[in-house]
Amino acid sequence: MLAALLLSFGTLPARAQDEEPAPPAFVPPVTIAESSEYARTSREADVRAFLDALASGSDRVRLSSIGTTSEGREIPLAIVADPPVAQPKDVGKRMVVLLFGNIHAGEVCGKEALLMLARELALDEDSPLLENLVVCFVPLYNVDGNEKMAPDNRPGQNGPDEMGTRANAQGLDLNRDYVKLEAPETRALVKFLNQWDPTIIVDTHTTNGSYHRHLITYQGPKNPAGDAQIIEYVRDTMLPAVDAAFEEATGYHAFFYGFFADRGKDHTRWLTYPDGPRYGVGYRGLRNRISILSEAYAYAPFKDRVLGTKAFCRAVLDYAAEHKSELEQLVRDADQRTIDAGRDPTPDGRIAIRSKVRAFDEKATVLGYEEIRQQGQPVTLGQERDYEVELVNLFEPTLSVHRPYAYIFPPDMVWLREQLQRHGIEVEVLREDIDLDIETDRIVGLTRADRSFEGHTLITDVRTQTDTAMRRIEAGWFVVRTGQKLGSLACYLLEPRSADGLVTWNFFDDWMHSDATFPVWRVPLRSYLTLRTARPIAEDRQTGRRLSYDDVYGKDRVDLDGSPVGGLRWVDDEHFLQHKDGQQRLVHARSGRSTPAQIDTEPIARRLATLPTIDEKQAKAIARRHFARADDNAPGSVFEHQGDLYYADADGSNATRLTASPAQEELSSLSPTGDFAAFVRENNLWVVDIATGTERALTTGGTDTLRHGKHTWVYFEELYGRSWRAYWWSPDGKHIAFLTTDASMVPEYALVNDVSRTDGLEVERYPRPGEPNPIVTLSIVSVAGDTPRVVDLSAYDVGGHLISWVGWSQHSGRLRLAVQNRTQTWLDLLEVAADAGKPTRLFRETSQAWVEPQGEPRELGDGSFILTSERDGWKHLYHFESDGTLRTRLTEGEWEVRSLEHVDEHGGWVYFTGTRDSPIANNLYRVKLDASVIERLTREPGNHRVSVSTDAGLFIDTWSSFAHPTRVALRQADGSLVRMIDTNPVFE
């Protein structure tokens, strides 16, 4: 174009001639095959030059490499997309298609065809298929083999003059390497599949063998272990459509890949190659992807083979672009079926691991030639003949096994973990010791191939005896769950009797002898396990890099402390609750085995739905929210719905509406006996009879500044742990103690609420220093409805004291409370009878600094109680008589008790945490009730948090140290290890 313009305008003016000359016009590159009139094929340098030239002339092309060969050559990758794509994250909503050639470097037509097709897509002004596709080209896969060109590398092939070798530089057939992944080329290609996840993969070859008139033969996935719907769709829908488009566009013929039986003697059966995953198409089928084999006819002219391969690949791309949504849905559904099949295996969920091929019911026509035999070999004289044949291309299972939930193998089998990870299979590490129901295989016998292949004496058959047992599996074992996208591939590789698995290729030869137990075990049914992703393989790890600020604090920060389990809550002596694998589970502490913690809420939901104000959807939500906890042994529950209170029995036998008031009910709770529910309405305390629905106001006169049973802000925030409820049921359910708070004299204070979804200012009555506190009184009222009786606190200044704690004695049934001065330099622990009156002071705590309320005393069977105190400047445990006199000082020294965990009266031990051995490390200890013996129970270095079981027979120990991130263990009362709950391995 530029040259034509220059000629038409003649000599340019002098000023224009002084300017920089225009760059030369882009000349599209041509392949070596084209430039030699299809006499020669490209070497590595030619391919690179072609791609470099193409990239320089098209913004659609990005060049890269999928990896390096054993001789150190880069395997070129050209990505053609509009807009361009250089990384998987840039693909967007387009579908990735991979086309690769030269896996057998003597079969070179694909190499040339893909270069030409890449040029076509990159340079055509109108390339609509790139609206839907990102097309990745690997034209020269076996680079090393390609460079070993010689004229006799592929005898009988019709051109070019020279070609490469079938094998790579290691002598490996790259199309038999997909299970063992011995070649760096195969590892590179599989890594590409893992990273880019192409929906369609086309593998271009040149075939020889039988004489026929099909320029292209093709094959899709066929191993019955793969997804049946993908196999059927590709075979029955996609490939016939691609075939028709190819034949219409070129006039060439295409058909399913195959050859005549009995070395061409039998023209009644058209056979195919095996379905094992050693072959690329079979392997990628087990990955739930559309893999297509393209085989050009070796006896056709080289030019026809190149152009035919190009046209066939183009027809695949056109089909892919037109049916993008359908194809994406196909593989997405296949992935989900695989995940679902492994996530919760069913008795009829099986996977094929051995198969046989048979003919389709309908016969087919193969376009061939008349043949004669010369020296025992078929020879054609060129006369055409069509053959009606049995199309022997349908693979059916001969051996299937139950798809397990997971496969497990011991920590020393790192080589197996790495092999599976290279395939892209997710391998996880078990973080806990747990008892599991296991299936193991004992080797009974096996058969090996007569001859070796590429250094392997293949195991062609294995006979096993399956045993089942419950076994303790220790943390550190590797776990491969089959509920993942590559779950079918994992099954096929790991099953010892698979026709073409890892056993076949000698990976497990150390165990292949009679009576040996195969080292990979099955977990047949869904099990809830604590896991994390295993350490990445070495080639995928980054090492030696300094941590940056973003590594520590950024959105994608490096995981340096793991994710230790938490929220474990004891239910009884032998069980605790734990969230595992997305579900709340009731865990048997010693074994780790678990059951669902959620109870069946359907009966409750059905009963609730009978109430006219609750529909079916609301009933199910309420039942799940209020009744699904396995650790809640209450006979029923009271809950709020649309501003009113309702009650339902836990077994679903009864449900009733308790209130029907326009006012809002809040802070409701059920009495210990389950007969009444208490609540606050318009700042007054009420009860309602569960059986009759009869309401009773226990107080009157409530306003926003005079509250009965509800705290004001200062008590809510500063004293009662952000709880608004200011009433307490007596143990027998007959009385309620409650606070009445008069805040009328307290100034208003604007607070910023930055917790709720709608930030804003809230105005509360909050006393700042020097301003008056609210006046708080404590009363006791009978549920039967008598006048509330005020506890006599006249010994204290009105408005000058705090009621910092309230609770009932479970032993005596009397009410206890803590009263403090405003500066909190002293605290009186008082006790009063249920009929109120004047309280008795049990003792006073004083401090020159301030006294922290110690909460509820831990009562013993004789009425005595244990409480912490800082009376000597250090927080320690004291055992008091029921009247408040000191019985025994349990701990002492220049260290502090952090928490009282449990009192075992029968064994005579008090369990507590403290800093006895380090001021910066919390540990669990126990001390005899007579203070004669004190023992440290957490012996690992570091800081410990513990949770003691209800009978103190076990405790959960959560600890970390400078050397290790947080770990969690279950220990006996004496500190000995029962099992690890979470080793929390960190690999970053």
Which residue from 773, 813, 815, 807 is spatially nearest to 791, judged by alpha carbons? 815
Cβ of 540: how many Cβ atoms within 10 Å? 11
pLDDT band for 1, please (50, 70, 90 cuts): very low
Same domain? 375 vs 408 = no
Same domain? 60 vs 131 = yes
Per-residue pLDDT, 176: 99
pLDDT digits (tens, 9 = 90+) for 359-394: 999 999 999 999 988 887 888 888 999 999 999 999
pLDDT band for 649, please (50, 70, 90 cuts): very high
Is there a domain that residue 300 lies in? yes
Is there a domain that residue 791 lies in? no
pLDDT digits (tens, 9 = 90+) for 774-797: 999 999 999 998 899 999 999 999
Which residue from 907, 926, 904, 929 is spatially nearest to 916, judged by alpha carbons? 926
In this model, does residue 334 exceed pLDDT 70?
yes
Per-residue pLDDT, 316: 99
pLDDT digits (tens, 9 = 90+) for 730-779: 999 999 999 999 999 999 988 777 766 666 788 888 888 889 999 999 99
Is there a domain that residue 607 lies in? no
Same domain? 411 vs 467 = yes
Query: CA 604 → CA 298, 823, 926, distances in Å?
Result: 73, 50, 44
Q: What angle do CA 253, 258, 261 make, to 5 degrees?
A: 125
% of the chain beyond a pLDDT of 70: 97
pTM, rounded to two decimals: 0.90
Please name the residues in contact with 426: beta carbons below 8 A apart, sequence gap of 6 or more: 480, 481, 484, 486, 533
pLDDT band for 615, please (50, 70, 90 cuts): very high
In this model, does residue 12 exceed pLDDT 60?
no
Per-residue pLDDT, 632: 64
In this model, does residue 9 exceed pLDDT 60?
no
pLDDT digits (tens, 9 = 90+) for 270-299: 999 999 999 999 999 999 999 999 999 999
In this model, does residue 490 exceed pLDDT 50?
yes
Last residue of a domain, one of 515, 540, 565: 540
- Helices 414-422 and 184-196, packing angle to 10 deg: 60
Per-residue pLDDT, 262: 85
In this model, does residue 469 exceed pLDDT 90?
yes
Q: 695 near 659, Cβ under 8 Å?
A: yes
Last residue of a domain, one of 491, 525, 540: 540
Is there a domain that residue 427 lies in? yes
Same domain? 267 vs 148 = yes
In this model, does residue 8 exceed pLDDT 70?
no
In this model, does residue 239 exceed pLDDT 90?
yes
Is there a domain that residue 272 lies in? yes
Q: 948 near 901, Cβ under 8 Å?
A: yes
Same domain? 87 vs 112 = yes
Mean pLDDT in the chain?
Answer: 94
Per-residue pLDDT, 757: 64
Q: 667 near 653, Cβ under 8 Å?
A: no
Q: Residue 717: is it exposed, middle or buried by C-beta count within 10 angstroms (0-12/13-18/19+)?
A: middle
Which phi and psi (to 5°) does residue 708 adopt? -110, 120
Which phi and psi (to 5°) does residue 488 adopt? -65, -40
Same domain? 316 vs 229 = yes
Instruction: Identify the residue whose tokens are 């069977």.
Output: 861
In this model, does residue 487 exceed pLDDT 80?
yes
Same domain? 385 vs 421 = no
Q: What CATH number corresponds to the domain at position 164?
A: 3.40.630.10
Question: ω before 160 within 30° of 0 (cis)?
Answer: yes
Same domain? 430 vs 501 = yes
Please name the residues in contact with 58: beta carbons below 8 A apart, sequence gap of 6 or more: 80, 122, 123
In this model, does residue 858 exceed pLDDT 80?
yes
Interval 538-549 mean pLDDT: 83
Is there a domain that residue 364 lies in? yes
Same domain? 90 vs 232 = yes
Q: What tokens were used for 448?
A: 């090996």
Same domain? 382 vs 448 = no
Query: How would you classify the pairing of strands 290-297 and 200-207?
Result: parallel
Q: What tokens were used for 752?
A: 């910023």
What gap in Å lies between CA 8 and CA 961, rounded to an integer? Answer: 83
Q: What angle do CA 101, 314, 364 make, to 5 degrees?
A: 90
Please name the residues in contact with 374: beta carbons below 8 A apart, sequence gap of 6 or more: none
In this model, does residue 18 exceed pLDDT 60?
no
What gap in Å lies between CA 670 and CA 679, rounded to an integer? Answer: 9
pLDDT digits (tens, 9 = 90+) for 116-137: 999 999 999 888 999 999 999 9
Q: Which amino acid does the sequence have at 134?
A: V
Per-residue pLDDT, 70: 97
pLDDT band for 253, please (50, 70, 90 cuts): very high
Per-residue pLDDT, 7: 31
Last residue of a domain, one of 505, 540, 575: 540
Task: Work out how many domains the chain is built from and give that number.
Answer: 2
**Which residues does residue 429 pair with via DSSP β-bridges, in sequence order?**
478, 532
Question: What secondary structure does DSSP assign to 619-677, as a single string?
Answer: HHHHHHHHH--TT---SEEEEEETTEEEEEETTSS-EEE----SSPEEEEEE-TTSSEE
What gap in Å lies between CA 376 and CA 24, rounded to an integer? Answer: 60
Per-residue pLDDT, 16: 43
**Which residues does residue 541 pair with via DSSP β-bridges, in sequence order?**
none
Same domain? 62 vs 129 = yes
Is there a domain that residue 637 lies in? no
Interval 181-196 mean pLDDT: 99
Same domain? 458 vs 381 = no
Interval 939-956 mean pLDDT: 96
Is there a domain that residue 490 lies in? yes
In 3-state terms, what secondary structure has residue 372?
strand
What gap in Å lies between CA 675 and CA 972, rounded to an integer? Answer: 40
Which phi and psi (to 5°) does residue 715 adopt? -70, -40
Q: Which domain holds residue 470?
A: 404-540
In this model, does residue 19 exceed pLDDT 70?
no
What gap in Å lies between CA 537 and CA 535, rounded to an integer? Answer: 7
